[in-house]
Chain A
């Protein structure tokens, strides 16, 4: 097995002597664990019809920090990301094996309602996808369907605070009732982030959130990601190694559907263990 997972030891060492994961989360534990790891994946295999897209991926994602998935396109990083909030359910031919636990409970368990899961695991996509509604309606969509606000002023408060957190409030406060599709690409992406955090998720998944944006808008989003780190567990898929180095604390490198290695970002970029990682980082392929 080429998969080499150093997390168990390295991450544990980094995070001030936390117990190893296996013992930290009793199976089926009903409450938030004390673990520093928010997400724990074991032997995840994904098939799209006949084609296998992920091979035995095991990975731990720390809470309240940014984890970056890097790798050449088609390497399975987005596929793995979509397993975490079960977005693969929407693809009829997709089949997910293995276990992914958030706070110790398996997201693929029959008893888990994907609707509830996704309200806790938000997602931001590659291309900004605001709904063809007003800015206000876009942000209010989640709180409305999940019944998070019972009164209009509560809803307004949620919208305002989400837009503020997404750093968009100053730009749109005077045109909340104009269509969200009228904003610039970078603004749209921040609107989508505001929409995601309006339901107070615990995890935010970002699938190449800056690939459709110009450098200035990208910088703003990266800044935002860094701010949100204090409140959310963020997983970001990125094409750009520079971005991974800038925003993440932990990095995982995927290649041909396999997790090659993962570890603290600094270490990965300065001292990769696997030659494939080294080749990728130094730009030999990908």
Chain B
């Protein structure tokens, strides 16, 4: 059976033009099916391209960032030489040199008069060693004159060498470490002085000028504090505004204006909110620059329209019969809304709120306007102190010239994305678990 079996019958054609000849018709049909296939392929190609972009984007970031989670630490016995430590000025002691001495002893090399070797060794060990010694000695002066074991991370460049980012095959003058330093590193690795481990410091430290000491703790806390402010303002105000517009407001010109206004606010570029924050909160109200408070305020204004829109649509989804039922038993308008409609709409409201908070978490541009780009080496103490947040930390590290910061940037992005995925997953679960279909 072929197409031809559904061929013209004796019915007189509905129009003066007769059906085209069989062959012409077949040719046309073939052409039509070809263009159908082509069109379908174009659509498929578009999706494939979009998916490739996604895979490349995520893949590149993971590939660049995962190595941050691995770190190389080094344990060295340090002799706290009383000659070098002035008990009366503990802060002023050059502990880095003491560490270098211990390392030279370990490697069996001698320093020259210019301190070339010790200098080269200091390029391999983190300043963290010196800090640790200082803290130890401050705590317990009896340690002076004894030998203590100190563990700390190797410096970022040495770390990159162990991870294969700096290669011996590169010409010596093109890399930060010379052949002698690489030889030392190889030896330390071989004799087990250098250990590979999980980089917990990246999660417990805050920003630092030294890549191997830099972490995201301060930024995570900053983000959390900022989001807290945003949530405390945007969610109640947004939900109540939506309740008014959807349930109470009369339909007139004013409410129309408010509605148009909210829809347009949702599409205002985020950087404009930054300008608003700068002019209003910082210059006019003197809120401290770069604090979680001012950041939270700006992001709250930004999230407000999205919260309102999400709340309104979930209020709309509650069928009028619920309202009629409540009003029918003599509940007042306010009781109807707050006892029945709003609780039923709550899953949708919370989903919308979490999604807009997740969006706020990733926002960067407006925060640059309000002074969040400063170097902040610690978690903020309160809502008014200087802070940095995750996306801004990404921006700051991306701008840093050291190569070791680039992998940390990617790692900070991974942390940021994990938080965002967690928030989005919460929203999806909320929607799945509690959403009802009317």
Contact = CB atoms under 8 A, between A and B. Distances in A.
Direct contact of A and B (CB under 8 A): yes
Given A32-B9, A105-B1, A147-B24, A165 B29 contact: no
B17 A116 contact: no
A240 B396 CA distance: 74
B12 A231 contact: yes
For chain B, the bracket of interface size reads: 20 to 34
B15 A198 contact: yes
A201 B2 CA distance: 18
Contacts of B24: 147
A116 B15 contact: no
A106 interface: yes
A199 B14 contact: yes
B29 A162 contact: no
A124 interface: no
B9 A157 contact: no
A234 interface: no
Interface string B1-42: 111111111111111110110001100110011000000000
Which of B3, B5, B12 has the most C-beta atoms of chain A within 10 angstroms of its own C-beta? B5
Given A116-B29, A202-B9, A148 B1 contact: no
A106 B6 CA distance: 9
Given A106-B1, A148-B17, A154-B16, A200 B6 contact: no
Nearest to A106: B1
A103 B25 contact: no
Given A102-B6, A111-B2, A116-B6, A158 B20 contact: no
B5 A103 contact: yes
A212 interface: no
B29 A157 contact: no
A147 B28 contact: yes
Interface in A31-56: 31-32
Interface of A: 28-32, 102-107, 109, 111-113, 115-117, 120, 143, 145-150, 154, 157-158, 161-162, 165, 197-202, 231-232
Contact of B5 (A29, A143, A150): A29
Contacts of A109: 1
User: Which 6 residue pairs spanning A and B have beta carbons closest together?
Assistant: A200-B14, A105-B5, A158-B15, A32-B9, A147-B28, A154-B17
Interface string B33-60: 1000000000000000000000000000
Most chain B Cβ neighbours within 10 Å, of A107, A113, A143, A198: A113
A40 to B, nearest CB: 14
A268 to B, nearest CB: 27
A65 to B, nearest CB: 13
Contacts of B7: 30-32
10 contacts: A32-B7, A102-B6, A115-B32, A147-B25, A149-B17, A154-B17, A197-B14, A200-B11, A200-B13, A231-B11
Given A116-B3, A147-B20, 10 more contacts: A28-B5, A30-B4, A104-B5, A112-B1, A116-B29, A146-B28, A148-B19, A154-B16, A157-B16, A200-B13
Interface of A, helix, strand, loop or mixed by DSSP:
loop
B34 to A, nearest CB: 13
Contacts of A149: 17
Nearest to B27: A147
Interface in B345-377: none
Given A102-B6, A120-B6, A145-B32, A28 B1 contact: yes
A146 B1 CA distance: 21
Interface of B: 1-17, 19-20, 24-25, 28-29, 32-33
Given A29-B5, A113-B3, A161 B29 contact: no
A146 B5 CA distance: 18
A34 B17 CA distance: 25
A234 to B, nearest CB: 12
B6 A103 contact: yes
A232 B15 contact: no
Nearest to A116: B3
A232 B12 CA distance: 10
Contact of A148 (B6, B20, B32, B33): B20
A197 B7 CA distance: 16
A154 B13 CA distance: 13
B3 A111 contact: yes
A281 B267 CA distance: 59
Nearest to B14: A200
Contacts of B32: 115, 145
A32 B7 CA distance: 8
Contacts of B8: 32
Contact of B15 (A112, A161, A202): A161
B28 A165 contact: no
A223 B20 CA distance: 31
B5 A162 contact: no
A71 to B, nearest CB: 28
B12 to A, nearest CB: 7
B415 to A, nearest CB: 41
B39 to A, nearest CB: 14
B8 to A, nearest CB: 8
A102 B5 CA distance: 9
A232 B15 CA distance: 13
Contact of A158 (B6, B16, B25): B16
A111 B5 CA distance: 10
Contacts of B4: 30
Given A104-B5, A111-B2, A148 B10 contact: no
Nearest to A104: B5
B17 A112 contact: no
B29 A113 contact: yes
